[in-house]
Structure 1
Amino acid sequence: MKSNLKKTTLLLTGLMVGGKLFAQSPDTTASSYDYVKPFSGGDKLRTWSVGVHGGLLTPYTIFGTNGRQDFKNPKEQVGYGAYIKDQILPSLGIQADFLRGKVKGDNSQTSANGTVYSQYSTNINWSAALSANITLANINWRHDKPFIQPYLTVGAGTMNYTPKITTPGGQETNFKTDGKGSINEIFIPIGLGLKFDIAPGVNLDLGYQVNFVQSDNFDGYNYGSTNDRFSYAHIGLEFALGSPKKPQMATHNPVSSMRKEYLWENQQTKTALQQEIDAEKAKNDQLRNDLNTTNANLAKLTTDSDGDGVLDINDKCPNTPSGTQVDGSGCPLAKPVIVVTEEDRKVVRDAIKNLEFDLGKSTIREHSLPSLDRVANLLINRNFSLKLAGHTDNTGSKDLNMRLSKDRAESIKSYLVSKGANASRIEATGYGQTQPIASNKTAAGRQANRRVEFTLY
């Protein structure tokens, strides 16, 4: 038994190494290798393949009562074989099988006349059979390519074998005593198995086969009325023949090719439609640009962008500030010289002196308004500009002081504008506590720092 296992191990190792060598296929991606245009004919697929296998031969089978066979105790022996197959349909192949090996058993049944044999050993010199190989699951709706293909085989053939029997005394004799000792008989092989795709065009084959011999002399012992049978459990490799660029029909999934065909055609349709849409968008964009250009040219005939009273088409000095006096070409007139007199400055100083706000607020107190009215009249009559700068002491947070100084300057501006002053000539800015003019450590200093500065120009 150990010797048989050692032989089997060496045989399987050789098969696997051979599979690795044959698996060095061309550099093809899975998608291009598996795809075949639907309904393009069988010439786009590889249909012929060869296989080699090795395994164990034994009288024990899964059919019938093994205890009633001619020899009660089966002995496993090494067998090997090969086949060539033509896949005529995706699920049906015709293959020619070859098998050699040895079948052995001991402890025979006792015949009616008391004959007993200790063991038998039958050499299968050769066997040849023609079988139908039915693939059960090579179409897959979930994956591009099925990894496992279950299959069934059934066929018929002839084999040449030499049975030898051994008596309890150890004497071995040929069952047939014509000198050759070999026998030719018809047999029926029935099997099942699984094939695994390990590389493009290379499959690992695990199978089990029961061989029904059409006689009762396979074990060299005519006992009872039942024909002999034996089984063969094997592992092997199958290699697809033909161009490596073509997929093998038995493992090809036509559903995957149909799906790829649909996706490609759908993508091509989408691409064509998108190109048409993009072309129409480009035309529309061009029309829109032309229209915008025309509208812009028309607008120049009626538009005065800077509001100086001179149309853009005639304006030689565009973008003049609002309120600027211009000549007929839109260019600013020379500004008159503005002189601030001492009397003007006194009006401003009085306004600063009398200016008071509610505590912590930007509300101007009533007694400060007459002085501000005189400043407003000055701005209106003399066309002066005024800068208002609000300041605070350091009491409170910096952010609060900054907002308060800005609000107080804006409050004065709003009042002056309400009296008719030009808002564009008044600038209001808040500086918070950042520019003190006295120390914030004394009440007098803080009072001096709480101020709004008027700059007339």
Structure 2
Amino acid sequence: MKSNLKKASLLFTGILVGGKLFAQTPDTTRASDYVKPFSGDDAFRTWSIGVSGGVLTPYTIIGSNRKQDFTSPKANLGYGVYIKKQITPAVGIQADFLGGKLGADNSQVNSFGNTYDSYSTKLHYAASLSANVTVGNISWHDNKSAIQPYVSVGGGTMHYTPVLTSGGTSTNFRTDNGGAINEFYIPVGVGVKFNIAKGINLDLGYQVSFVYSDNVDGFNYGSNNDRFSYAHAGLEFALGKKSKPQMAVHNPVSSMRTEYMMENQNTKNQLQAQIDAQKAQNDQLKADLATTNANLAKFTADSDGDGVPDFYDKCPNTPAGTKVDGAGCPLPVAKDVKVYVTEADRQVAREAVKNLEFDFGKATIRQHSDESLNKLAQLMVAKKFSLKLSGYTDNVGSVEANLKLSRARAEAVKTYLATQGVEPSKITAEGYGKASPIASNKTAKGRQQNRRVEFSLY
């Protein structure tokens, strides 16, 4: 047993020293660890392989060891390899292979009075498929995770050959199939991984395998199935492009922080560039304005205060309060002219109202309304009439929308008449929305009548 413990100790030491050598290469590169948040699996290394060595023993930290078939468990050298596919940063599927030897001395006395001095079981292989769950892989102090505690559970088959020794004579437990046995077992493990270099992890773990039989030691005592443990140290190597981070150790919080810092810096640079460009533009505008003010100073003097600069004033020294034209000369005093609106004139306005239609929900005048509006425009130009336009809508829609639409329709009529020669100052346009309906809004015909613009000549 001392020889086996020495071998296991040397194996642990070698792995730890190797880990220290790897760890001496500082991982200061952070850009290579960055992955855009919410990227797919292609952005990571999701496959890895691992090797391990350690101690195989029937002694376990779970359950009562006093009730095992042999009372003095031995520690023997074990070894293992695995391949793992990481599904998410926290969950991976792992295929394990475990080999080595189990042994113990001093059997219990079974119900037949049989005892054995020792047993030695060659574990040809134990192959299993397990779920490996990382308990935590985010470091809030470092950009890259450093430690990942994990748990695992699975199931598989093991192929082994138990040999019993009594009185110096060794015999196989089974006489058929070369003494070999195949059994189902359930491995349950815990451990912790240390990131010693990019894509390389030191794996320290402890696994208890529960066998679905009582044949591992070749001796039946009591009603308990056999179990054994494997305490190990090993190295895990990520497969794939070295430029990609390993999913199992990736820190998504770091990537989100990097993304934020990059976007923040880009935004800051863009804003600074815009500020600098705006400052340069403002400086140029100030210079241009100063030049323009200097050139226009001579055009701003207005000695008589009539609103026309002296440079353009053809009639200087106009008395205060006198209305002048663009040349600064007094405007002729307009004589009051009385305007009379006849019944025939009102009939022209009524025809224009009767034939006026708009597109539904719009301020677009339909073409067949043009003829009546043209006659009204000719009348207003000829007799210098003024016109008040009052726009109305039906009750479909909100109050605010109807007010806006009624004003727009009145303005549309005003614009049309202005294009026909009527002075815009002769026309006032108001909108009253769905107020003052002239027909029922419960029928399509009534609503059509309520969508109108009323004309008042004066």
Taking structure 2 as the reference length, what is the TM-score of the superposition? 0.61
The answer to whether the 8 Å contact 1:23/1:200 transfers is: no
Which residue identity does 1:163 align to in structure 2? P
Matches within 5 A, 1:347-366: none
Shift of 1:183: 0.6
Percent pairwise identity: 65
Shift of 1:3: 1.4
Q: Residue in 2 aligned with 1:282? A: 280
The answer to whether the 8 Å contact 1:58/1:104 transfers is: yes
Q: Secondary structure at the match of 1:132?
A: strand
- Alpha-carbon distance in 2 for matches of 1:28, 1:246: 14
Q: Residue in 1 aligned with 2:137? A: 138
Shift of 1:118: 1.3
Unmatched segments (≥5 aa) in structure 1: 299-457
The answer to whether the 8 Å contact 2:22/2:196 transfers is: no
Q: Residue in 2 aligned with 1:235? A: 233
Q: Residue in 1 aligned with 2:392? A: none
Shift of 1:283: 2.1
Which residue identity does 1:131 align to in structure 2? S
The answer to whether the 8 Å contact 2:212/2:226 transfers is: yes
Shift of 1:123: 0.9
- Alpha-carbon distance in 1 for matches of 2:20, 2:139: 26
Which residue identity does 1:8 align to in structure 2? A
The answer to whether the 8 Å contact 1:122/1:161 transfers is: yes
Q: Secondary structure at the match of 2:179?
A: coil
Q: Does 1:58 align with 2:21?
A: no
Q: Residue in 1 aligned with 2:174? A: 176
Q: Residue in 1 aligned with 2:201? A: 203
- CA pair 123-33 structure 1, distance change in 2 beyond 3 A: same
Q: Residue in 2 aligned with 1:259? A: 257
Shift of 1:104: 1.0
What do the CA deviations read for 1:4-49 (whole angstroms, capped 9, x no partner)?
A: 1332234335545766888899x98531121001122110000000
Which residue identity does 1:263 align to in structure 2? M
What do the CA deviations read for 1:353-411 (whole angstroms, capped 9, x no partner)?
A: xxxxxxxxxxxxxxxxxxxxxxxxxxxxxxxxxxxxxxxxxxxxxxxxxxxxxxxxxxx
Matches within 5 A, 1:36-435: 36-167=35-166, 169-178=167-176, 180-288=178-286
Q: Secondary structure at the match of 1:4?
A: helix
Shift of 1:145: 1.8
Cα-Cα RMSD: 2.6
The answer to whether the 8 Å contact 1:23/1:202 transfers is: no
The answer to whether the 8 Å contact 2:135/2:149 transfers is: yes
Structure having the higher Rg: 1
- Alpha-carbon distance in 2 for matches of 1:24, 1:158: 40
Q: Secondary structure at the match of 2:3?
A: helix
Shift of 1:220: 0.7
Which residue identity does 1:277 align to in structure 2? I
Unmatched segments (≥5 aa) in structure 2: 297-458
Shift of 1:2: 2.9
Q: Secondary structure at the match of 2:277?
A: helix
Which residue identity does 1:108 align to in structure 2? S
What do the CA deviations read for 1:295-320 (whole angstroms, capped 9, x no partner)?
A: 9999xxxxxxxxxxxxxxxxxxxxxx
Taking structure 1 as the reference length, what is the TM-score of the superposition? 0.61
> When the two structures are aligned, how many residues end up with a matched partner?
297
- Alpha-carbon distance in 1 for matches of 2:19, 2:194: 12
- Alpha-carbon distance in 1 for matches of 2:85, 2:186: 20
- Alpha-carbon distance in 1 for matches of 2:186, 2:281: 77
